[in-house]
Amino acid sequence: MGDDIKFLDREEEELYNSLQQDKWVSDFDGTIKEKYEVYARSSLKKERRINIRMTERDFKKIQVRAIQEGLPYQSLISMLIHKFNENKLTIN
Give pLDDT, residue 3. 55
d(CA 3, CA 35): 32
Residue ranges of the alpha helices (H) in the chain? Answer: 10-20, 30-45, 56-69, 73-85
pTM, rounded to two decimals: 0.51
Helix (H, G, I), strand (E, B) or coil at 22: coil
Of 1, 28, 36, 33, the C-alpha closest to 16 is 1
d(CA 89, CA 82): 9
pLDDT digits 0-9 by tens, 5-31: 667 788 888 888 888 887 787 777 778
Give pLDDT, residue 90. 82
Of 66, 64, 67, 92, the C-alpha closest to 79 is 66
Give pLDDT, residue 1. 47
